[in-house]
Structure 1
Amino acid sequence: MRTRPLKVALLGCGVVGSEVARIMTTHADDLTARIGAPVELAGVAVRRPSKVREGIDPALITTDATALLKRGDIDVAIEVIGGIEPARTLITTAFENGISVVSANKALLAQDGAALHAAAETHGLDLYYEAAVAGAIPLVRPMRESLAGDKINRVMGIVNGTTNFILDKMDSTGAGYQEALDEATALGYAEADPTADVEGYDAAAKAAILAGIAFHTRVRLDDVYREGMTEVSAADFASAKRMGCTIKLLAILERAADGESVTARVHPAMIPLTHPLASVREAYNAVFVEAEAAGRLMFYGPGAGGAPTASAVLGDLVAICRNKLAEATGPGESAYTQLPVSPMGDVVTRYHISLDVADKPGVLAQVATTFAEHGVSIDTVRQQGKDGEASLVVVTHRAPDAALSGTVEALRKLDTVRGVASIMRVEGE
């Protein structure tokens, strides 16, 4: 066994970073046995050095992350800072100094993953990021290694625990959106500013990363269609229950039937209660992968939190350290297909549309004609009326999203339609 320890620079020491440091210390002997050499925390770069960090030697603390990376004795850097800068510059600096990198930075990887992979390859180093998607759930490595010999056609999943907690509470208790959000905030699941979660930005970044791995093509954050879930209402859940469905914020990645393009999207959707994702409760994540040979696979577990995310970080650390000892590198970016990302309008899906209409003869015929004029077939219609007002709920058959969207815009212009109360896609059938 090699006696000189592999030295690790920890960049960031918040909730995740402090857990990484704790596990490295308490499980040091096990990590040594698994890697084949000792692994040592050689420095911890932070912004606030005066903060008390229990279990971490104060002598390891520094505010100069660049100097830490340029010391000359660091083997692996763990980046858990988050955001674009200074994380991007620090990862680039690490590569320039012969240091492999473990990152949990979904936003950076979704935006600049291609450039970071290229830098790692240029210097003959590793870039691992299991913790960037779905926390503790082993997903990135199984998709890019275990399924490397297969063809993935579709990925659909719940990749944000905050939104799943909110939607689960709305479903199980009948709470409104704001009430469920307030509970998520009180319990620490939602940030003081929950925009990144509830507007789908967090899930979209993860979707971009997963799409790139699944389809061997470069998918950036800007390529992902995104809708938030702030408009989901108790009435939507009532309609979903009548259909035998629930509502989830989903990341859906698909290869076109002809194999010539891919799509990537994040939005709330109704899914049947019989679908495996429908039973994912609280702040858990789950991802459903459909591969040509392996069939349907589901990955499930805690998608956030200090300890679960640190578990994924440490798994990457062990893998990289083993590669260091073998003087090898693991798999890098695979983007050989260079498939275009089609716009949302090309996606074939179903709509659940709730309309407020005048309660008088001929309204349903007028609405049905509008659907027919846009080439959209109606599956079911439910109408309720009282005192001159009526609610009309239409569920369509599958059609291109552009045709469905065009139908909705035409419905808004009808004199008999007083408002479009809700529009939601139906998936997972």
Structure 2
Amino acid sequence: MATRRPAPAPFRCTECGWTTSKWAGRCGECQQWGSVVETAQQTGVLRSLSPVAPSASRAARPITQLSTAETPRRPSGVPEFDRVLGGGIVPGAAILLSGEPGVGKSTLLLEVAARAARDGYRVLYVSAEESTGQVRLRAERTGALHDELYLASETDLATVIGQVDEVQPSLLIVDSVQTVSSSLSEGLAGHPSQVREVAATLIRIAKERDLPVLIVGHVTKDGSIAGPRLLEHLVDVVCHFEGDRQTSLRFVRALKNRFGPTDEVGCFEMTGDGISEVPDPSGLFLSKGAAVSGTCVTVALEGRRALPVEVQALVVSSSTPNPRRVVNGVEASRVAMILAVLERRSRLKFGDRDVYVSTVGGVRLNEPGADLAIALAIASATTDRAIPHTVAAIGELSLTGEVRPVARLAQRRTEAARLGYSTVVDSGIADLLSALERVRIPTPASSDR
């Protein structure tokens, strides 16, 4: 008796490929909402395609005969943004800029549009979230007015394409892809199928016309880019705009870049007049004044940049059975590990003390190279002994108390020397123990008590 083959599942997730026999609003594998769609039934008939001869301009050529002069980069007018893009905007590139609401995405792109217009390029800024009057008010405040900067407020994809045909821009900005809809796809604006259709159409226009397109993307509550994951695969560059609303500092990071490195970071500052570049942010993360106990400077890497960051610690007696461990800008798990190493290897006790650790300027330290600076700051606060301003600490702290070297140590030391740090503690258990012994020397005021 012949066995019957099971019928293929009629519904499939467009994100991860999960299949099911019944429609579901949420994928059972990747938990993505709205990604389960009905698939066509397999007929078993293979249809052949007739070959089409390519035109002379599209004929395949040896890679050695191709020249990069055919796709020259052009500056956006914002050097910090060009740094993230790898040197400038490539013709026909599709660039996706994402970030939290209110972080400054529209302000940054309006500044890019204004500077490109001043350089002689015609720019079309399509805002699907604001009216042209609202964009004009922000442009007046930031000084982004120019005759070559065209504004349009459209939410229909066909109308956006019509605006492109009429204006013939050299740069297109769409703010944002989740608020533009196409009549060729079902669902409301922001639905995964709508986002996929709008993004694919804009990217096709960019490639056919060598028109660079900057697309704004929303993020979900967990910080990932909203919409189907396919959106990030379609575009050429994915940039993330991040920053704390409580501070004016902003960072632009390249998460994906087909035309350059992905370890560059652009630094900006939000002001009352818009957004401004910070080409040398070395002084933003250091406190001013005389040396006090509980502070230590490290040199962290933001992309390819070496930035000095001051770590501050406060250790006080606790009146509760469970002492508090409060951190800001550093990982709580790493601070807990460092406290354990200090208590075991340097004979400092924290069982009856509250420990507070924070960074200056709102910067986040996620790399292990800041371990030594955190340890010295905590030891300095515990012993009430100030570390001189000329000392910087760089290194990863192991559970044995050993200080391990970190990546690009030479670059960090060079940056520390440029800023006047004559003593850099960066390797060897002897350096760590000697540094801890120096900060454990009691001050005359503490010895009198």
TM-score of the aligned structures, taking structure 2 as reference length: 0.31
* Structure (1 or 2) with the greater helix fraction: 1
Query: RCO greater where, 1 or 2, for CA within 8 Å and sep 6 or more?
Result: 1
Q: Which has the larger radius of gyration?
A: 2
- TM (norm. structure 1) is 0.32
